[in-house]
Amino acid sequence: MIRFLSLPLCAALISSIAPGQSAPRIERDIPYAEPRNERQLLDIYAPAGAARLPVVVWVHGGGWMRGGKEDMNHKPAAFTEKGFLFVPVNYRFIPAVAMDTIVRDVAKAVGWVHRNIASRGGDPARILLMGHSAGAQLAALLAIDSRYIEAEGVPRSSIKGCVPVDGDTYDVPLQVATAAARRKSLNQPPPKMGHPEKFGNLERQRELSAVNHVAPNRGIPPFLLLHVASHTDTTAQAYRLWAALDQAGVPASLFGAEETDHVKLDRDLGLPADPATQALFAFTSKVLR
């Protein structure tokens, strides 16, 4: 059963709409897999009168262990104002499921969008994959390794762009090595649930690293990699993926956000004066031109 947005949340979204604009149509808690599971639901924010509009599928962060599609801040209003449908998705968490199951969950959500979004005013041939932190890893992997979305009936050509935001695991073994070296230099014990525990052995880490699936002439869509300029790990990972894409001839750009942090970068996306938001919408205008 589809639930519509609660009154307090709806009022908050309406308050962010500019005067003279119609409030978006909102559907919540749509199951994209059976049997229905709280962690396999998505929401749809659509401009009033939407027809064949491009679609953003947004994958939330939270270390693959927490977070949800409700924590979208300014993004739904910003995207619908720009003429997009905005679709944030949930997925199941570690340790209840393995990392590759999470990847398939998000691929299933993209498959549901491709099959059903036209009836909500979206264009199934113009989908952009975006996500923050853990969601950045998932979005990047799906955009590059098309086996997951193709298994759900989504042609690679339907993905018109990808915007990963401040991810640290486009190259998982590199991040594992970086974190281990840092802990050793600081004489710190390893975490109980670090990247090796989440991703598995070296073979699985490599398989789930977007950089290892980049190749020329595979139809990989253009990328905009947003990252916190002062964050060493996410900056290194952004440059690592950008270099792989660039070498393969895939259009890719980097934007290092200044005077922000990992949480604030995501929270501020959608604010008109936010530099990362301006870079984001310049990118979407270009790839959808």
Q: What is the pLDDT of residue 15?
A: 41
Q: What is the pLDDT of residue 18?
A: 46
The mean per-residue pLDDT over the stretch 197-204 comes to: 97
The mean per-residue pLDDT over the stretch 188-203 comes to: 94
For 85-142, write each residue's pLDDT tens digit.
999 999 999 999 999 999 999 999 999 999 999 999 999 999 999 999 999 999 999 9
Q: 172-185 and 232-247 helices cross at what angle (nearest 10)?
A: 150
Q: What is the pLDDT of residue 24?
A: 87
The mean per-residue pLDDT over the stretch 19-41 comes to: 88
Region of poorest pLDDT, from 114-123, 188-197, 257-266: 188-197
Q: What is the pLDDT of residue 289?
A: 82
Strands across the sheet containing 159-165 = 25-31, 41-46, 85-89, 53-59, 122-132, 159-165, 223-228, 252-257
Indicate whether 8 pLDDT > 70: no
- The residue to which tokens 């990963």 are assigned: 164
Q: Copy the structure tokens of residue 75.
A: 């993004």
Q: What is the pLDDT of residue 47?
A: 96
Q: Tell me the three state secondary structure of residue 251.
A: coil
Instruction: Measure the CA angle with vertex 163, ends 157 and 169; round to 5°.
Output: 110
Indicate whether 7 pLDDT > 70: no
Q: Tell me the three state secondary structure of residue 172.
A: helix
Q: 83 pLDDT band (50/70/90 cuts)?
A: very high
Region of poorest pLDDT, from 178-182, 243-247, 279-283: 178-182
The mean per-residue pLDDT over the stretch 152-156 comes to: 98
The mean per-residue pLDDT over the stretch 253-277 comes to: 98
Q: What is the pLDDT of residue 249?
A: 98
Q: What is the pLDDT of residue 5?
A: 44
Indicate whether 2 pLDDT > 70: no
CATH class of 7-287: alpha beta
The Cα 288–Cα 127 span in angstroms is 10
Indicate whether 51 pLDDT > 70: yes
Q: 155 pLDDT band (50/70/90 cuts)?
A: very high
Q: What is the pLDDT of residue 14?
A: 41
Q: 21 pLDDT band (50/70/90 cuts)?
A: low
CB atoms within 10 A of CB 64: 24
Indicate whether 243 pLDDT > 90: yes
The mean per-residue pLDDT over the stretch 55-66 comes to: 98
